Amino acid sequence: MKLTVKPLKQKDAGRGLAAIDRVSMRELDLENGDYIVIEGKDDSQAVARVWPGYPEDEGRGIVRIDGRLRQEADVGIDDNVSVEPADVKPANSVTVALPQNLRIRGDIGPLVRDKLSGQAVAEGQTVPFSLSFGPMASSGQSVPLKIASADPSGTVVITDSTNIEISETPAEQVSSEAGESPEGVPNITYEDIGGLDDELDQVREMIELPMRHPELFQQLGIEPPKGVLLHGPPGTGKTLMAKAVANEIDAHFETISGPEIMSKYYGESEEQLREVFEEAEENAPAIIFIDELDSIAAKREEAGGDVERRVVAQLLSLMDGLEERVRVTVIAATNRVDAIDPALRRGGRFDREIEIGVPDKGGRKEILQVHTRGMPLSEDIDLDHYAENTHGFVGADLESLAREGAMNALRRIRPDLDLESDEIDAEILESLEVTETDVKEAMKG
């Protein structure tokens, strides 16, 4: 049966779920907790656990999967995929490889089993493991675990009686299957962004669609945009959106920081701009992200300086020189849209603009869900309450609220923690919990 791919809601990502509306579930003779195989492009496929879709999806023929599964199946949002029931066996034993810089003392097997229970995995796959503590886990981020081997072979489901072994070889050295991001592609997905659904739709229409289907634009004789300007206050998710769209279309990602490029020696700024554009063209499809565009391209009368004039001229000529058939899109971000040189906002340059505002209550809740997704939150934490009481907070503030909450949890157990050691005790990890008091304290800042 053919279904249309949509993203999952932020809070449901990272668990190997496929949310399918009930009508389609019935047609496919599926029940909650069954497994399906999603067939994407060129024989790519992903196995997921079925879960009844959101009420608003009823009868729309939708399958919602998160960025990792979309990548495994090599599909994008709005693609049609074939979905069939999958035959998966329970795993007797699974060997997982941890990232090199995550060193655990004791047996972390039970914790891994607990978190991955119910997920379908196969050798060579990378699965996210939510861990809010440790050297590489910032809030909301998860640690990538590699499945080094599975018994029986093939796709298996981790159950409560699966034996989890930890591989001696770190994840980085275990060979991967397809579906992994090539280097230079960020691993942010749409589910990592909260409160910007409409803005994401616009980004997808302006950037994802033309890059995915250039033929449509050729057919219609319209030029896909070369540049899109995202504007709004700092910390609202502009960088995040640029990275997510690059990841979703598997595009190479280059960043230019406005202030950094302006701090170069005479002539070096232009040189570096040229290099970045070259690199992008060589690795196309590519996205070039220019942060704080205003620091490069302030209105000429305002900037006045000779350096600014030259750098803007260089940027203009590089953008004008981007050929239509090379799929390179430039996304620029600024919090001072009025300060941008109008020459850059004309046709063929940054001629599309999307405003990224401060999130409302619903947006704040989604952002909190993103950043607490990996955390062991105690039951009494009410994210609605925090969404309600954080008026004026942007994404970056909410992220740091979540992180501070987790830090407070960490401080509570600090007496048991050997801070000198770079190993973490498995037992301590298992006992960690972020409580209401931890978050309340974090709010007081």
- Binding residues for ligand ADP, rule: CB under 6 A, are 193-196, 234-240, 333, 367, 370, 395-396, 399
State which residue, 21 or 66, has the beta carbon closest to ligand ADP: 66
CB of 190 to ligand ADP, least distance (A): 10
Closest by Cα among 355, 359, 306, 360 to 335: 355
The least CB distance from residue 359 to ligand ADP, in Å, is 6
- CA distances (Å), 86 to each of 77, 155, 426, in order? 22, 9, 34
CB of 329 to ligand ADP, least distance (A): 17
Q: Residues 6 or more apart from 435 whose CB is under 8 A from it?
A: 378, 380, 381, 409
If you write DSSP's letter for every residue of 186-207 in order, what string do you get?
A: ----GGG--S-HHHHHHHIIII
Pairing, β 2-6 against β 45-52: unpaired
Which run of H or of E encompasses 69?
A: helix 67-73
Q: CB burial class (10 A; 0-12, 13-18, 19+) of residue 357?
A: middle
Q: Is 160 exposed, middle or buried (0-12, 13-18, 19+ CB in 10 A)?
A: exposed
Q: Which residue is nearest to ligand ADP (CB)?
A: 395
Q: How far apart are CA 246 and CA 252, in angstroms?
A: 7
Distance (Å, whole) CA 365 – CA 371: 10
Cβ 76 to ligand ADP shortest distance, Å: 20
- Give the C-alpha separation, 64 to 77, whole Å: 9
CB of 401 to ligand ADP, least distance (A): 11
Which one, 150 or 290, has the nearer CB to ligand ADP?
290
Q: How far is the CB of 335 from ligand ADP (least distance, A)?
A: 7
Question: Whose structure tokens read 């994407």?
Answer: 40
Nearest to ligand ADP of 119, 369 (CB atom): 369
Tell me whether residue 68 or residue 373 sits nearer to ligand ADP (CB atom): 373
| CB closer to ligand ADP out of 355 and 418 | 355
Closest to ligand ADP by CB, 225 vs 237, is: 237
Closest separation between CB of residue 122 and ligand ADP, Å?
A: 30
Backbone angles phi, psi at 423, to 5 degrees: -100, 150
CB nearer ligand ADP, residue 83 or residue 288: 288
Sequence-separated (6 or more) residues with CB below 8 Å from residue 365 = 194, 195, 383, 384, 387
Min dist CB 5 to ligand ADP, Å, is 21
Contact call for residues 281 and 326 (beta carbons, < 8 A): yes
Three-state secondary-structure class, residue 35: strand
The nearer residue to ligand ADP, 53 or 395, going by C-beta atoms, is 395
- Cα 77–Cα 80–Cα 86 angle in degrees, nearest 5: 105
Distance of closest approach, residue 371 Cβ to ligand ADP, in angstroms: 6
By beta-carbon proximity to ligand ADP, the closer residue of 354 and 370 is 370
